[in-house]
Amino acid sequence: MRLSSSKRIRRRGIGGDQILKGLVATAAILIVVLLVALAVELISGASLSLTTFGLPFLYSTTWDPYHDVFGALPFIYGTLVTSALALLIGLPVSLGVAIFLSEKAKGYRLAGYVLGTLVELLAAVPSVIFGLWGLFVLSPNLRTYVEAPLHKYLGFLPIFSANPIGLDYFIAGIILAIMIIPTVSAVSRDVLNAVPNSQREAMYSLGATQWEVIRKSVLPYARSGIFGATILGLGRAVGETMAVTFVIGNSTAISSSLFAQGYTLSALIVNQVGESTSPLNASAIVEIALILFGLALVINIFARLFVVRLTRGARFRA
Amino acid sequence: MEAPRYPGGQPKFETRGLKAGFGSTWVLKGIDLKIPPNKVTAVMGPSGCGKTTFVRCLNRLHELTPGAMVEGQALLDGEDIYDRNADPVAIRRRTGMVFQKPNPFPTMTIYQNVVAGLTLNGVRDRKVLDHAVEHSLRSAYLWDEVKDKLSDSGASLSGGQQQRLCIARAMAVEPEVLLMDEPCSALDPTATAKIEELVSELKKDYTIIIVTHNLQQASRVADYTAFFYLGKLVEFDETAPLFENPKEELTERYITGKFG
Amino acid sequence: MATSGLSGDRGRRRRAFNRLMNVLIYAALVAAIVPLVAIVGEVVVQGLPQINLGFLTGLPRPPTIPGGGIFNAIEGSAVMVGLAALIAVPLGVGAGIYFSEWPESRLSFISSFTNDVLAEFPTITLGIFVYLVVVLTTHTFSAIAGAIALSIVMIPIVARTTEESLKLVPHTLREASMALGVPRWKTVIRIVISTGKSGLATGILLSIARAAGETAPLVVTALWSVYPVTNLWGPAGSLPYLIFYYGLSPYQIWHGYAWGGAFLLVVFMLGLNLSVKLLIGRRFAGVRAET
- Examine residue B73 and state whether it is found in any structural domain, yes or no: yes
Bridge partners of B79?
Answer: B76
Q: Which CATH architecture has domain A52-304?
A: Orthogonal Bundle (1.10)
Instruction: Give the pTM.
Output: 0.88
In this complex, how many residue pairs, one in chain A and one in chain C, have their CB atoms less than 8 Å apart? 327
C68: phi > 0 → left, psi -120 to 50 → alpha, else beta; which? left
Nearest to B103 among C176, C182, C194 (CB): C176
B38 neighbors B25 (Cβ within 8 angstroms): no
Query: Using the beta-carbon criterion (under 8 Å), do C288 and A126 form an inter-chain contact?
Result: no
| Residue B125: predicted pLDDT | 92
CA–CA distances in Å: residue B34 to residues A301, B178, B219 = 56, 15, 19
Between CA B134 and CA B141 the distance in angstroms is 10
Query: Using the beta-carbon criterion (under 8 Å), do C181 and B166 form an inter-chain contact?
Result: no
B60: phi > 0 → left, psi -120 to 50 → alpha, else beta; which? left
Interface test with B, best of A5, A9, A12 (most B CBs within 10 A): A9
Task: Give residue-wise pLDDT tens across range C180-194.
Answer: 999 999 999 999 999
Task: State the DSSP code for A59.
Answer: T
ipTM score here?
Answer: 0.89
Nearest alpha-carbon partner for B206 in B109, B96, B51: B96
How many CB atoms lie under 10 A from the CB of residue B124? 8
Q: Which chains touch A (3+ CB pairs under 8 A)?
A: B, C
Q: Which H helix or E strand runs over A64?
A: strand A63-64
Domain count, chain C: 1
Q: Which domain holds residue C169?
A: 53-284
Nearest alpha-carbon partner for A225 in A146, A293, A171, A305: A305
Beta strands in B6-129 (DSSP E): 13-22, 25-35, 40-44, 68-76, 79-80, 95-98
Q: Which domain holds residue B23?
A: 13-255
A228 neighbors A183 (Cβ within 8 angstroms): no
- Examine residue C35 and state whether it is found in any structural domain, yes or no: no
How far apart are the CA of C147 and the nearest CA of chain A, in angstroms?
A: 16
- Counting every residue written for chain C, the total comes to 291
- Examine residue C78 and state whether it is found in any structural domain, yes or no: yes
Nearest to C117 among A116, A206, A300 (CB): A300
In tens digits, what is the pLDDT along chain A, a chain of 318 residues?
333 434 455 555 568 888 999 999 999 999 999 999 999 999 999 999 999 988 889 989 888 888 888 999 999 999 999 999 999 999 999 999 998 888 777 667 777 788 888 888 888 899 999 999 999 999 999 999 988 888 888 888 888 888 888 899 999 999 999 999 998 998 898 888 888 888 888 888 887 777 788 888 888 888 888 888 899 899 999 999 999 999 998 998 888 888 999 999 999 999 988 788 888 999 999 999 999 999 999 998 888 777 654 433 333 222
- Examine residue C2 and state whether it is found in any structural domain, yes or no: no
Task: Give residue-wise pLDDT tens across range C29-80.
Answer: 899 989 999 999 999 999 999 999 889 999 998 988 888 899 999 999 999 9
Interface test with C, best of A8, A47, A125, A212 (most C CBs within 10 A): A125
Q: What is the CATH number of the domain that holds C64?
A: 1.10.3720.10
Nearest alpha-carbon partner for C206 in C284, C260, C91, C145: C284
Between CA C5 and CA C48 the distance in angstroms is 57
Q: Which H helix or E strand runs over B237?
A: strand B232-238
Task: Give residue-wise pLDDT tens across range A10-25.
Answer: 555 568 888 999 999 9
Strands B207-211 and B40-44: parallel
In tens digits, what is the pLDDT along chain C, a chain of 291 residues?
445 556 677 778 888 888 888 888 889 989 998 999 999 999 999 999 999 988 999 999 898 888 889 999 999 999 999 999 999 999 999 999 999 999 989 999 999 999 988 998 999 999 999 999 999 899 999 999 999 999 999 999 999 999 999 999 999 999 999 999 999 999 999 999 999 988 999 999 999 999 999 999 999 999 999 999 888 999 999 999 999 999 999 999 999 999 999 999 999 988 888 888 777 754 443 343 333
Between CA B131 and CA C159 the distance in angstroms is 42
Nearest to A241 among C90, C216, C286 (CB): C216
How far apart are the CA of B260 and the nearest CA of chain C, in angstroms?
A: 26
Query: Domains of chain A: which residue ranges?
Result: 52-304
How far apart are the CA of B20 and the nearest CA of chain A, in angstroms?
A: 21
Domain count, chain B: 1
- Examine residue B1 and state whether it is found in any structural domain, yes or no: no
For chain A, which residues lie within 8 Å of any Cβ of chain B, measuring from their own Cβ?
A: 1-4, 7-12, 15
- Examine residue C33 and state whether it is found in any structural domain, yes or no: no
Query: Using the beta-carbon criterion (under 8 Å), do C179 and B89 form an inter-chain contact?
Result: no
Is the pLDDT at B2 greater than 70, yes or no? Answer: no
CA distance between the termini of chain B: 22
Q: Is the dihedral of CA C203, C205, C206, C211 positive or negative?
A: positive
C196 neighbors C168 (Cβ within 8 angstroms): yes
Task: Give residue-wise pLDDT tens across range B53-102.
Answer: 999 999 999 999 888 999 999 999 988 999 888 889 999 999 999 999 99
A218 neighbors A225 (Cβ within 8 angstroms): no
A177 neighbors A93 (Cβ within 8 angstroms): yes
Between CA B4 and CA B237 the distance in angstroms is 5
At B5 the three-state DSSP class reads coil
- Mean pLDDT over the full length of chain B: 90
Between CA B38 and CA B20 the distance in angstroms is 26
Task: Give residue-wise pLDDT tens across range B5-47.
Answer: 555 678 899 999 999 999 889 999 999 999 999 999 999 998 8
Q: What is the CATH number of the domain that holds B211?
A: 3.40.50.300
B95 neighbors B208 (Cβ within 8 angstroms): no
What is the DSSP annotation of C87-143? Answer: HHHHHHHHHHHHHHHSTTSHHHHHHHHHHHHHHTS-HHHHHHHHIIIIIHHHTS--H
At position C154, the amino acid (one-letter code) is M
C-chain CB neighbours of A21 within 8 Å are: 98, 102, 185
How far apart are the CA of B135 and the nearest CA of chain A, in angstroms?
A: 11
Bridge partners of B29?
Answer: B19
How far apart are the CA of C206 and the nearest CA of chain B, in angstroms?
A: 23
Nearest alpha-carbon partner for C246 in C259, C228, C263, C227: C259
Task: Give residue-wise pLDDT tens across range A208-229.
Answer: 777 788 888 888 888 888 888 8
Between CA C161 and CA C104 the distance in angstroms is 19
Q: Which residues contact B126 (CB under 8 A, 6 or more apart)?
A: none
- Counting every residue written for chain B, the total comes to 260
B-chain CB neighbours of A12 within 8 Å are: 87
Query: Using the beta-carbon criterion (under 8 Å), do A128 and C129 form an inter-chain contact?
Result: no
C135 neighbors B66 (Cβ within 8 angstroms): no
- Examine residue B5 and state whether it is found in any structural domain, yes or no: no
Q: Which chains touch B (3+ CB pairs under 8 A)?
A: A, C
Between CA B104 and CA B154 the distance in angstroms is 6
Q: Which residues contact B122 (CB under 8 A, 6 or more apart)?
A: none
Between CA A215 and CA A209 the distance in angstroms is 10
